[in-house]
């Protein structure tokens, strides 16, 4: 094994370590991106600037794992109230166009002035 051969393998090994090291370094960002984390940008910045420290790297990794996903939206604790149905809603109040008094919705004529009501 001559010197040039060993040097080439050293170069390949160094490049390989750089690639693998970069991949491990940005693993929290990759996880946050794949999970569509809500705070992906913050996780990425923490990973980028503090990832060289074990605490920053572990912090961004844990954050990426526990961060809420964008989709779907979290379900509300209490179920939303059902919209009122037409059958349970009170009858709409109609007013006579002649005298302004309230009349029944099914009335043909106003009970106050006898004005014919348009249905």
Q: How far is the CB of 98 from Zn ion (least distance, A)?
A: 4
Residue from 6, 8, 15, 113 in contact with Zn ion (CB under 5 A): 113
Applying CB under 5 A, does 96 fall inside the site for Zn ion?
yes
Q: How far is the CB of 91 from Zn ion (least distance, A)?
A: 18
With H, G, I as helix, E, B as strand and everything else as coil, classify residue 6. helix
Residue with tokens 């693998």: 20
Applying CB under 5 A, does 110 fall inside the site for Zn ion?
yes
CA distance 2 to 113: 116
Contacts of 56 (CB under 8 A, 6+ apart): 46, 47, 49, 50
- By the criterion CB under 5 A, which residues form the site for Zn ion? 96, 98-99, 110, 112-113, 115
């Amino acid at each position: 094994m001559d010197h040039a051969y060993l040097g080439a393998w050293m170069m390949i090994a160094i490049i390989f370590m750089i690639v693998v090291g970069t991949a491990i370094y940005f693993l929290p960002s990759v996880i946050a991106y794949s999970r569509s984390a809500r705070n992906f940008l913050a996780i990425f910045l923490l990973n980028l600037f503090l990832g060289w420290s074990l605490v920053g790297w572990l912090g961004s990794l844990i954050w990426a794992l526990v961060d809420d996903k964008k989709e779907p939206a979290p379900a509300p604790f209490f179920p939303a109230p059902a919209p009122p149905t037409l059958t349970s809603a009170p009858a709409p109040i109609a007013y006579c166009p002649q005298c302004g008094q309230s009349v029944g919705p099914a009335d043909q004529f106003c009970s106050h002035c006898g004005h014919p009501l348009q249905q």
